[in-house]
Amino acid sequence: MNFASFGKRFVAFIIDGLIIWLICAITIAPWFIPPLCIIVAALYHMIFETSPMKATPGKAIMDICVVKSDGSILTIKDSLIRFAVSFLSSALFFFGYLISLVTEKKQTLHDFVANTVVLDTSFDEKNYWKTFVDQSKIIFGNSSHPFDRSTTSINSQSLEELFNLYQKGILTEDEYNQKKAEFLKRL
């Protein structure tokens, strides 16, 4: 795995910050309710980081993505934990971010807590709007209640269970990769 540099992550952070600021300025400015901007930012990260793109637009522009340490896509819970702890990473003069300069996998504090890594990658297509719409439909659509994600939760849980079987030695690497590929095709 090729871990993303501090510089790439910093530029992605700035790009995403500007995008979130613009969204908040357009949608929330008349009421100026800062907590709503935090919710917008959390949704922004959650929708993009849990998508097959595995990256916010800022990360995608910089050709980096965020994944679990085992290489799997983040769940909604993972993304929200990572987002929440990023506020702690910002405290004390951004110490939580700066530790990525000295860690083996270039992880920040919020990466350690959420068990994630940020990788260098390349994107064949960067269709952010399509990714946003498709992932929003998966997360919020097709259910009677917008927060009823039982099928998505089951899918994420099943992938985690499959990986646990591999880690315990019950599945070989080839069996794990084959079953994972079959599972992802069904999604």
Domain boundaries, the chain: 6-145, 149-187
- Claim: this prediction has a pTM higher than 0.95: no
Q: What are 74-90's pLDDT values in tens digits?
A: 999 999 999 999 999 98
Q: What are 126-157's pLDDT values in tens digits?
A: 788 888 888 888 888 754 433 333 444 445 55
Give me the residue label for tokens 């069904």. 186
Which positions ≥6 away from 139 have C-beta within 8 Å? 46, 47, 50, 76, 149, 152
- For residue 72, give the DSSP letter: P
In this prediction, residue 168 carries a pLDDT of 66
| Amino acid code (one letter) for 147 | F
In this prediction, residue 110 carries a pLDDT of 96
In this prediction, residue 184 carries a pLDDT of 75
Residue among 86, 185, 165 nearest 99 (CA): 86
Contact between 45 and 13 (Cβ < 8 Å): no
In this prediction, residue 186 carries a pLDDT of 67
Separation CA 88–CA 108 (nearest Å): 11
In this prediction, residue 146 carries a pLDDT of 37
Separation CA 36–CA 43 (nearest Å): 11
Q: Is 61 helix (H, G, I), strand (E, B) or coil?
A: helix
